[in-house]
Amino acid sequence: MSKKPLFPQLNGMLYGGDYNPDQWLDRPDILAQDIEYLKKAKINCVSLGIFSWSSYEPRENEYHFEWLQQVMDNLYANGIYTILATPSGAKPAWLDKNYPDCLRVDNMGVRYHHGDRHNYCMSSQNFRNKLKNINTLLAEKFSHHPGLLMWHISNEMGGECFCPECQKKFIEYLCNKFDNDIDKLNKAWWTTFWSHKFSCFEEIEPPFANGSIDIMGLNLEWKRFTTWNMIDCMKSEIEVVKSFNPDIPVTANLMNMYNGLDYRELAKEIDVVSWDSYPRFHNDWESFEDTMREFSYSHAVFRGLKKDKPFMLMECSPSSTNWQAYNKLKRPGVLRLQALQAVGCGSDTVQYFQIRKSRGSFEQFHGAVIDHAGIDNRIFREVSEIGDILSKISSVAGTTVKAEAALLFDWDNRWAIQDMQGLCNADKKYEKTLVDFWREFNRLGAEMDVIGTSDSFDGYKIIIAPMLYILRRDVAEKLTQFVKNGGQLLATYLTGYVDENLLCHLGGFPGENLSDLFGLYSEEIDTLFPSDRNGIQFRGCDNTIEVFDYCEILKIKDAEIIGRYTDDFYKDTAAITVKCFGEGSAYYVAARTKAADLAPIFEQMLKNVGIVPNKMPPHVLYHERSGDGERYGFYYNLGENQIDIKNVKGIDLASGKEIDGELVLDKYAVAVVKF
Ligand code: GLA
Ligand code: ZN
């Protein structure tokens, strides 16, 4: 594949962050000094105007863009580009006062007061009009500015609104979805239950907390609608900025594992995926290494939203955050690991929140590139070192990460599992299970994408589908075809219970003929109390592994049993099976175990399709990017001691040194090797 850097103007990586010069307009000395600091750190782009609506339009219809013009001009004259935001992330007070329908309504039907951010009603016509007005003025003035690289639409869109306008739109959305046929909806949502049958669409309300939360189909459709409505509002913003200059790409900064929006749908409407990453490093519940590998998984999730294209690390903190329960400092070297991890996973940018610490208000103690005290400090030195490394690895820009294994993850499956009444209602741990599987493949040395069930499976040899609770017919057919053609598929407990409206499949789980693919039925599923344990004994060996949380009891048709339960009334029945189907194999793991305990199965799957994993010594994380015949290996020492990695040959781009067989990495060191 050929290299396509996201920003050809930059001749390499974008290095930047959120910058709020409008907070310092009465301090031109500081603004001038900031530019010198940015250049010193090799920062070549800043994100402006994310929360600037009240600076642009302090009173309704009174506009001030001159400060932005001046800031962008100055930056550009100094070689620093701009990502410009549309200002919908936070509304000015006059807007909410003059047009109260811009304020959201919560799930008890209570309208919010003015304040905070990320809280506009997506349906309010007044809001959309005022937003269109400010975006038009902004785009008219700046969309041909030579320093403009990209539009940043709003900020971290999310949440939901239960106002009368949103309710009305929900009903329209449902009429459209169910062909104006209320019987069709009643059937799909099984509304005869508890006398929930609707006689017309107008009777339907969103799932208010003090209303109907017991129709699973309705709850799910509300989530889908909220995604649709948010995207609809986002599209109205994109339309304005694109109408002035269609060549400027747009992005929207997404949040790690955010639950409220189906990001696969959202990603279709933007040019580049970007996300904000705030790991809880050095915490007291998992190892530093586990946190790091989990964030490689997160990068894979965002990379998977737009395949074969670099993404952007839009935000991370140069030191601590201010909003977590415990805002611990990043230890020396950790920022470098985090920044280059993003690049190794396919990002063409490293960006911070924030460039300069604000003097007052909510985020005055959030980490920043430029501290209240200035730049003579550890953080700025680390930021500058990363700037230097990024300039030396500029040729990586535009390359991508290739994976032959994929993990399936859908947002609606996640919502449905959370909402399902049964099993362990407190937490079914779908997300944790995904991370656990992904991390184990990563430890074994196999790169893995995270894709949705509607994505193409072409090019993958292994698919892991944990807890695929919602199973649509087309997905079942695609999976069957995948295995028939030689693919290795692994599914788990909770596969194929319901259809896309959350009606149970009849005739046994997994539904939609997947019981033929796996050669089994799931007859029952047992939920274990937290201290309960079962085990699985693998065929032909004494080795047993631990089982917790869930055990499905299987009825075997023609699958081969490779592991059996060790305890309880289903002792000796099948817990792990495989069925050869066509050219491939379909594995079924009926109980929850640690993914690490399934490593022999994963290794067998890799072997079956001839993937030779690139297994690293303990504590070493590895990623690889390639394009235009070039290959770059990213090696990260996540451990506390120096590590020697054998069989590495190439140029260490940061030092310029040739590596001839042995790469030595100090604690928390990173090497980018061009092979
Ligand atoms: C989010 C927001 C930023 C800032 C940071 C703080 O990611 O997008 O505006 O509030 O959090 O960590
Ligand atoms: Zn609303």
480-526 pLDDT, tens digit each? 999 999 999 999 999 999 999 999 999 999 999 999 999 999 999 99
Q: Please give the mean pLDDT across all residues of the chain.
A: 98
For 284, residues 6+ apart whose C-beta sits below 8 A from its C-beta are none
Is residue 543 over pLDDT 90?
no
pLDDT tens, position by position, 359-383: 999 999 999 999 999 999 999 999 9
Among 534, 656, 545, 667, smallest CA distance to 595 is for 545
Return the pLDDT at 541. 86
Rounded-to-integer distance, Cα 605 and Cα 602, Å: 5
Rounded-to-integer distance, Cα 78 and Cα 640, Å: 40
Among 17, 522, 491, smallest CA distance to 253 is for 17
Which is the catalytic residue, given 156, 265, 294, 447? Answer: 156
pLDDT tens, position by position, 441-454: 999 999 999 999 99
> Known catalytic residue: 385?
no
Return the pLDDT at 602. 98
Q: Give the pair of three-digit tokens for residue 562.
A: 């490779």
Residue 260's Cβ-count burial label (10 Å; 0-12, 13-18, 19+) is middle
pLDDT tens, position by position, 145-197: 999 999 999 999 999 999 999 999 999 999 999 999 999 999 999 999 999 99
**Surrounding residues of ion ligand 2, Cβ less than 5 A:** 121, 123, 161, 163, 165-166
Among 80, 52, 81, 54, smallest CA distance to 68 is for 52
Ligand with minimal distance to 256 CA: 1
Rounded-to-integer distance, Cα 119 and Cα 98, Å: 16
Q: Is 451 left (phi over 0), alpha (psi -120 to 50) or beta?
A: beta
Rounded to the nearest angstrom, the distance between the alpha carbon of 339 and the centre of ligand 1 is: 17
Rounded-to-integer distance, Cα 150 and Cα 6, Å: 10
Return the pLDDT at 648. 98
Write the single-letter amino acid at 627.
Answer: G
Per DSSP (E only), the strands in 37-104 are 45-48, 81-85
Whose structure tokens read 């090799």? 42
Render 557-586 in DSSP notation, one character per residue. Answer: SSPEEEEEE-SSTTTTSEEEEEEEETTEEE
Answer whether 0.85 is exceeded by the pTM. yes
Rounded to the nearest angstrom, the distance between the alpha carbon of 353 and the centre of ligand 1 is: 6
Which is the catalytic residue, given 315, 382, 500, 624? Answer: 315
The Cα angle at residue 103 between residues 101 and 108, in degrees rounded to 5: 105
Handedness of CA 294, 296, 299, 300 (dihedral sign): negative
Residue 188 DSSP SS3: helix
**Nearest CA residue ID for atom 7, ligand 1:** 276
β-pair type (544-556, 591-592)? antiparallel
Residue 359 near residue 27, CB atoms below 8 Å: no
Rounded-to-integer distance, Cα 35 and Cα 24, Å: 13
Q: Could you tell me where the DSSP H helices lie in 378-426?
A: 378-392, 411-419
pLDDT tens, position by position, 9-60: 999 999 999 999 999 999 999 999 999 999 999 999 999 999 999 999 999 9
Rounded-to-integer distance, Cα 120 and Cα 157, Å: 10
Is residue 542 over pLDDT 90?
no
Rounded-to-integer distance, Cα 68 and Cα 81, Å: 13
pLDDT tens, position by position, 252-270: 999 999 999 999 999 999 9
Return the pLDDT at 1. 82
Which residue among 363, 365, 369 is best mutated to probe the pocket of ligand 1, counting the most ligand atoms within 8 A of its Cβ?
363
Ligand with minimal distance to 162 CA: 2
Q: Is the CB of 352 under 6 A from ligand 1?
A: no
Rounded-to-integer distance, Cα 578 and Cα 598, Å: 13
Residue 13 near residue 632, CB atoms below 8 Å: no
Rounded to the nearest angstrom, the distance between the alpha carbon of 278 and the centre of ligand 1 is: 9
Q: Which atom of ligand 1 is nearest to the CA of 156?
A: 8
Q: Give the pair of three-digit tokens for residue 629.
A: 């015949």
Return the pLDDT at 491. 99
Rounded to the nearest angstrom, the distance between the alpha carbon of 565 and the centre of ligand 2 is: 51
Q: Is the CB of 315 under 6 A from ligand 1?
A: yes
Q: Burial code of 470-500, b = ≥16 C-beta within 10 A, e = fewer?
A: bbbeebbebbbebbeeebbbbbbbbbbbbbb
Per DSSP (E only), the strands in 143-223 are 148-152
